[in-house]
Amino acid sequence: MKYTIEKTEKYSLVQLHEEKLTSATAPELKSELVKLNAEGSKNIILDMNDVKYVDSSGLSSILVGNRLCDNEQGMFVLTGISDHVMKLIKISHLDNILNLIPTVEESVDAIFMNELEKNLRAENKEE
């Protein structure tokens, strides 16, 4: 599987450079997401700009990433979703579960806003 990872203090950006996220590539994505989470990445952006097709194994690896980030009170964001992949996500009713944001820039903003809101809630609880 071809991909790049950019790590920052607040999030990790995983950019897939594959046209298909299937049973051939999904296990590697899943293990990479588990590894990132274990290394402390609680906010992960999965950029799927190059991905044109996803099967059930691909959706499963996406859900693993989502669950890992949720467990850490973080945020898992899918961005750059093609029309075909979006149809599959909607048919599977995962559009209500996943954070779907059009661009990487908007995804970064959403993560920063989420972190700010968490910090404000924590401060309010302390008062």
- Phi, psi at residue 75, to the nearest 5°? -135, 130
Q: Quick one: pLDDT at residue 17?
A: 97
Report residue 121's pLDDT band, with 50, 70 and 90 as the boundaries: confident
CATH class as words, domain 3-126: alpha beta
Place of tokens 């467990």: 71
Report residue 45's pLDDT band, with 50, 70 and 90 as the boundaries: very high
Cβ–Cβ under 8 Å, residues 101 and 110: yes
Per-residue pLDDT tens over the stretch 64-94 = 999 999 999 999 999 999 999 999 999 999 9
Q: Is the pLDDT of residue 127 over 80?
A: no
- Phi, psi at residue 13, to the nearest 5°? -105, 120
Mean pLDDT score of the chain: 95
Report residue 125's pLDDT band, with 50, 70 and 90 as the boundaries: confident
Q: Is the pLDDT of residue 126 over 80?
A: no
Q: Quick one: pLDDT at residue 114?
A: 94
Tell the burial category of 79 from Cβ atoms under 10 Å away from its Cβ (0-12, 13-18, 19+): buried
Specify the pTM: 0.94
Q: From the CB of residue 41, how many other CB atoms can be counted at a distance below 10 Å?
A: 22
Q: Is the pLDDT of residue 123 over 90?
A: no
Question: For the chain, what are the domain ranges?
Answer: 3-126
